Homo-oligomer: A and B are copies of this chain.
Amino acid sequence: MALVNECFLSLPGNYLFSEINKKVNTFSLQHPDAKLIRMGIGDVTKPLAKAVIDAMHQAVVEMSDAKTFRGYGPEQGYRFLIEKIIEIDFRSRGVTVQPEEVFISDGCKSDMGNIGGLFAKENVVAVTDPVYPVYVDSNVMDGRGGGTSASGMWKNIVYLPCIKENDFIPALPEKPVDIIYLCFPNNPTGTTLTKPELKKWVDYALETGALILFDAAYEAFIAEEDVPHSIFEIEGAENCAIEFRSFSKTAGFTGIRCGYTVVPKKVAARTGTGKKIFLNALWNRRQTTKFNGVSYITQRAAEAVYSDEGMRQCKENIAYYMKNAAIVRDGLKHMGLEAFGGINAPYIWFKTPENIDSWTFFDRMLKEIHVIGTPGVGFGPSGEGCLRLTAFGSREDTVAAMERFQSWSI
């Protein structure tokens, strides 16, 4: 008789964004005339850069002719893309990455979700709180949750609060942890760490043998100096960290699906008897067994992001979104709300007035001003009483949303 992985059963039934979708769809059906402004899910709205479009047309043409047709590519990705990544994303920042350390994938979410398969169930996982739900949910599926306490927190997961009171800078864990998820610039708070702050984490990992899973999906939005774009800018990180990158927000690839993961050859974990096992070979074995590479057309699209034209066009789009971010941040502050982020990241995090809880405020925003945010508590207990807004809408919608906020008697 087939037996299920019972870890699934302890998970809440819905992924956060599916839950939001359901609420919004229900409201839309009941109020078909309401003009909703969506600042909830972090999905881009600007079309793909022309350089990317041209590259895809060209790749489609290649696929139409037996002489240039491409079938199975390397599971790890094509060298033409890997070499651009190394040159532009790393070498230009003084970081050395080898081609065999880069694995192209269909997106950061897949890799961050699947990486857990490489590790023993017994690892203690630490996450910043609030946090992108995939880190927690995927670990619960893998058996590292340990059941929830009355507060809804997972007993075996260590939560590191990132809140206004600590300037959104997580403190090192008080009890030993084995795997640490860090995402900077941060989703959902939009805040960042400076190099010295990130260095504390690398030093901690080197000292304790912990592994850092570093989500750098938003690095392209960094505007300030001294904010690291890659954890590998920190000395020693190549011995203790894996980095995840995405083209979703950098180049508007949310509907195209491409990202990559850097697993340095030196980074290792241990067996129960203390033997060092290098993770690059393990991830390679995982990817070659359970994955079959990314569409050739998509990889040519990603390559075009690194052309001069592509980089210029993507930067223009990012600048557009970051102007939206400033409008949102300033608008909320002007109302007297406490707002964070939006400077090095496309997310603005704000506290509800009078400590209204996140879902109540989400519902009120939806019903009263028809603006969709994301309830902070959906990202973890430290997010209660906050909401996340994204800067990925059109300028017109962003301005209109802020006007609705201003004229709203909360």
Contact = CB atoms under 8 A, between A and B. Distances in A.
Given A1-B208, A208-B1, A141 B289 contact: yes
A381 to B, nearest CB: 19
Contacts of A293: 257
Contacts of A117: 5, 117, 141-142
B1 A178 contact: yes
A238 B298 CA distance: 35
Interface residues of A, number: 85
Contacts of A134: 289-290
Contacts of A63: 47-48, 53, 56, 255-256
A194 interface: no
Nearest to A179: B2
A242 to B, nearest CB: 10
A138 B123 CA distance: 21
Contacts of A208: 1
Given A272-B6, A289-B113, A48 B64 contact: yes
A308 interface: no
A28 interface: no
B60 A271 contact: no
**What copy number does this chain have within its complex?**
2
A287 to B, nearest CB: 9
Given A8-B285, A141-B286, A255-B295, A269 B64 contact: no
B291 A109 contact: yes
A201 B381 CA distance: 48
A282 interface: yes
B45 A64 contact: no
B71 A255 contact: yes
A336 to B, nearest CB: 33
A95 interface: no
A43 to B, nearest CB: 4
Interface string A254-274: 111100000000000111100
Given A8-B118, A254-B71, A1 B270 contact: yes
Contacts of A255: 63, 69-73, 295-296
A11 interface: yes
A194 B254 CA distance: 43
A2 B124 CA distance: 8
A193 to B, nearest CB: 21
Interface in A159-198: 178-179
A139 to B, nearest CB: 10
A290 B3 contact: no
A47 B69 contact: yes
A297 interface: yes
Interface in A205-244: 208-211
A15 interface: yes
A289 B119 contact: no
A292 B43 CA distance: 12
Contacts of A153: none
Interface string A20-52: 000000000000000000000101111110100
Contact of A110 (B47, B271, B291): B291
Given A113-B291, A257-B294, 6 more contacts: A1-B178, A4-B270, A8-B285, A57-B60, A114-B114, A134-B290
